[in-house]
Amino acid sequence: MTTVRRTPAGATRTCPHCRAVILQSMTSCPSCKKHLRFAPGADALLPTASPLRVEASIRHPDNAEALEYAVVVTITNERGEEIVRQLVGVGALQPGELRTFTCAVEVFASGE
């Protein structure tokens, strides 16, 4: 008989490969996509829904100075209180360059 140890929904851990904070229930890291553990008879945890996906591009005009950018993600609760605010990345656009940014929210069943 195999005993499956369940963790509380939302429990987190650190990916040993990229050091991202991920859900403890993950069998592969959504950030670096590396395998974390073998779970007999279980596939990698796949999203049950993706209620939000936004993609946008910025093209720098050829006739202007370099532009700098910062990508910031903020999560708030139902009362509008900030739970997390994280700087995801920074960079610069030189004249004529293009950057595309994608933000997605993936929802997973907790398995409880």
The pLDDT tens digits for 35-52 are 887 655 455 566 777 889
Q: Same domain, yes or no, for 37 and 55?
A: no
- Structural domain of 35: 9-45
pLDDT value at residue 77: 96
Q: Are 51 and 72 part of one and the same domain?
A: yes
In a domain, 2, yes or no: no
Q: Are residues 53 and 28 in the same domain?
A: no
pLDDT by residue (tens digit) across 49-108?
Answer: 788 999 999 999 888 899 999 999 999 999 999 999 999 899 999 999 999 999 999 887
Contact 67, 60 (CB under 8 A): yes
Query: Which band of pLDDT confidence, cut at 50, 70 and 90, is reported for residue 8?
Result: confident
